[in-house]
Structure 1
Amino acid sequence: MASLFFKSPVDLDIRLDGDDERKTVDVKVSKDRREKVPLYCDGESIKGAVTVRPRDGKRLEHTGIKVEFIGSIELFFDRGNHYEFLSLVQELAAPGEMRHAQTFDFEFKNVEKQYESYHGINVKLRYFVRVTVSRRMADVTREKDLWVYSYRVPPENNSSIKMDVGIEDCLHIEFEYSKSKYHLKDVIVGKIYFLLVRLKIKHMELSIIRRETTGAVPNQYNESETITKFEIMDGAPVRGETIPIRLFLGGFDLTPTFRDVNKKFSCRYYLSLVLVDEDARRYFKQSEITLFRRTNDQ
């Protein structure tokens, strides 16, 4: 990075071809800031230009200029280490000097991007272009992020989910969801059957839970967050009653399911059914669902 105590002797600008026409993704980069990032796919080339501009017309001596395309995983509890699973480099200029701005074209052809971009609670998987002007004193770098989607073919086997909640001689409920794998714009359709009700149920709610797991044992961290929660029943049900469920996923900030990405993190989703009785006791059942991205799930 450029020194904190001296003004950088050079301005760096990275432009990607077709940025103005390319689709973007609105990414949360910090607690209070979001940013539009260009969207790329697996196998797509990364092409653009780097402009190096010496400041104040001064002569810039350098020991080489390079551009890199990097895929990395950053674990927030391990901030000192970034795990690079993809690293490509091109030399733009041999050691020398410059007095005026110069623009260098670059292209990384047909790049395999095996993972989808992800910004979570404790982990970030990012792809970025980085240009470095190497100097005898301090290198000067500039980075530009891009976002990657991974599209999947809809699964051939997509069985329903059937589970029950029971307390002997007091409560027996069966619930069923029509399938276990959903695309990001899908609709969760299901039914809840009350076979035995001797408890005074006050209300029932359904939640989507996202569970992020980072690191490896013994330094493993689990974080759960509720994506949405809504009440599907208010008041006591009766035996034989059936309650339909219909939940549209398109309005929520969801990602595909990630399992053991580069042996660094996972992100799983669960449907959580919760019943609350008049004494505020809670009875719940969770079932994992799989989310995937189709071509038209932008």
Structure 2
Amino acid sequence: MLERERLQEKERSPGLLGRLLRKVDGCDVRFIFDGKMDECMVTVDDPYERKSERLHLFSDNEPVCGRVVLTPKGAYRHNGVLLELVGVIATFEESEEKVEFMRQDKLFEPDTFRSVTSLEFNFAAPREYESYRGMNARVSYYVRVTIYRPVKNITELVEVWVSKVDAHMSETQPDASRHRSYFRETVFGPQSISMDVGVENFLHIEFKYDKKIFHLQERVLGKVTFKIADMDIKYGEVGVVRKEFIGPGNATDIMQSETLQKFEIMDGTPIVGEVVPIRLYLRSIPHLTPTYPNVHNCFRVLYFLNLVLITGEGRRYFKQQEITLYRRHGQEAPTGAATESP
């Protein structure tokens, strides 16, 4: 059985320089989130750095509340402490560009810490976008503490993962996975998509999918009908392709295409009239996210079903159909991720 590639877990401890600076400065910093147990964190893969890490999970309208615990080594004087929830969009082209799209903060007055001190925060501002990590773009949320010092300010931060359920889609779109016929029956109704594709007089096929809008744990049903098959077909496959467009949404956007997963649906040359069924379960595809039509005019993420036919000579003929993906209740954790104990 094929298994999903497990990425190396990112080191969570600070580097040597960070440990020295914190020790010399004389104050340790710790973040504690209310109602978020350490053993209930989602594992998030980072395809850009090829590593994974575990982060606290929040919904888009759930208050991010907790406290920052400061442990001084002695009398610790400061000129104020700033706690912030910050949302940042980063895009990677020739160089990294960052845009801060949200900020909520709480400022504490200058004081002197002489013992363990807890500074509470409660950031209730809604998050417009959910967290995302792609090949050339990402959306990140951080809780950050800045301690203003007479000589050098001290800054520490921790990332949290934000998931956003599409309430409108959840209410208006039927959930095929709740039907008793989910695993055995293909029904083509008014939402079905049908297209004819031809290669001169050598190949003419019709492929049909049951619908265009799917939630992240649904299945895609379809069929390919061969009307003309005067071509040496070695095999055929169907896959899910993600396209990232970096830019405000015009013709100059930079596009990065990535095949998340593909499945072989046929082997050998078909005969005229042959029908090849398609059954693809989205929940088995790692790193799948909802469709993002526009993220702060910085990037967008679209998904396509990709039908590919490969001839005996190695030629590839393909046709793509855009689909829309959305997140329902119960699908808050990243696809392919799990809650793990440390």
TM-score by length of 1: 0.91
SS in 1 for 2:93: helix
Letter in 2 for 1:144: V
**Partners of 1:79 and 1:15 in 2: CA distance:** 34
**Larger displacement relative to structure 2 (30-39 or 259-268):** 30-39
SS in 2 for 1:250: helix
**Partners of 1:199 and 1:90 in 2: CA distance:** 68
Unaligned runs of 5+ in 1: none
C-alpha change, 1:78 and 1:102, in structure 2 (3 Å) is farther
What's the CA shift for 1:156?
Answer: 4.6
C-alpha change, 1:130 and 1:219, in structure 2 (3 Å) is farther
Partner residue in 1 for 2:115 = 100
**Partners of 2:139 and 2:79 in 1: CA distance:** 31
Instruction: After superposition, give the CA deviation of every residue in 1:149-189 in whole Å (9 maximum; x if it has no partner).
Output: 11112345982221122022211100000000110000000
- 1:201–1:276 Cα contact (<8 Å) kept: yes
Q: Is 1:125 aligned to residue 139 of structure 2?
A: yes
Letter in 1 for 2:110: P
Partner residue in 2 for 1:52 = 70
SS in 2 for 1:84: strand
Partner residue in 2 for 1:175 = 207
Letter in 1 for 2:276: I
**Partners of 1:81 and 1:182 in 2: CA distance:** 32
Following superposition of structure 1 onto structure 2, how do residues 260-275 of structure 1 map, counting pairs within 5 Å?
A: 260-275=294-309
What's the CA shift for 1:82?
Answer: 2.5
Partner residue in 1 for 2:240 = 208
Instruction: After superposition, give the CA deviation of every residue in 1:200-254 in whole Å (9 maximum; x if it has no partner).
Output: 1111111111111123468743211111111111011000110111011111120
- 1:22–1:38 Cα contact (<8 Å) kept: no
Q: By percentage of residues, which structure has more helix?
A: 2
Letter in 2 for 1:199: M
2:165 corresponds, among 151, 157, 161, to 151
**Partners of 2:40 and 2:70 in 1: CA distance:** 27
What's the CA shift for 1:34?
Answer: 1.6
SS in 1 for 2:272: coil
1:235 corresponds, among 250, 268, 271, to 268
Partner residue in 2 for 1:33 = 51
Q: By percentage of residues, which structure has more strand?
A: 1
What's the CA shift for 1:52?
Answer: 1.3
Unaligned runs of 5+ in 2: 1-16, 175-189, 333-342
C-alpha change, 1:218 and 1:163, in structure 2 (3 Å) is closer
Instruction: After superposition, give the CA deviation of every residue in 1:236-274 in whole Å (9 maximum; x if it has no partner).
Output: 100011011101111112000111210011111111111
Give the superposed CA RMSD: 2.4
What's the CA shift for 1:60?
Answer: 2.1
**Partners of 1:281 and 1:79 in 2: CA distance:** 36
How many residues align structurally?
Answer: 293
What percent of counterpart residues are identical? Answer: 37
Letter in 1 for 2:126: E
- 1:165–1:284 Cα contact (<8 Å) kept: no
C-alpha change, 1:208 and 1:80, in structure 2 (3 Å) is closer
Letter in 1 for 2:33: L
Partner residue in 1 for 2:277 = 244
Partner residue in 2 for 1:16 = 33
Partner residue in 2 for 1:142 = 156
TM-score by length of 2: 0.79
Partner residue in 2 for 1:294 = 328
Letter in 2 for 1:276: I
What's the CA shift for 1:97?
Answer: 2.2
Letter in 1 for 2:303: Y
**Partners of 2:65 and 2:98 in 1: CA distance:** 24
**Larger displacement relative to structure 2 (131-140 or 237-246):** 131-140
What's the CA shift for 1:108?
Answer: 1.9
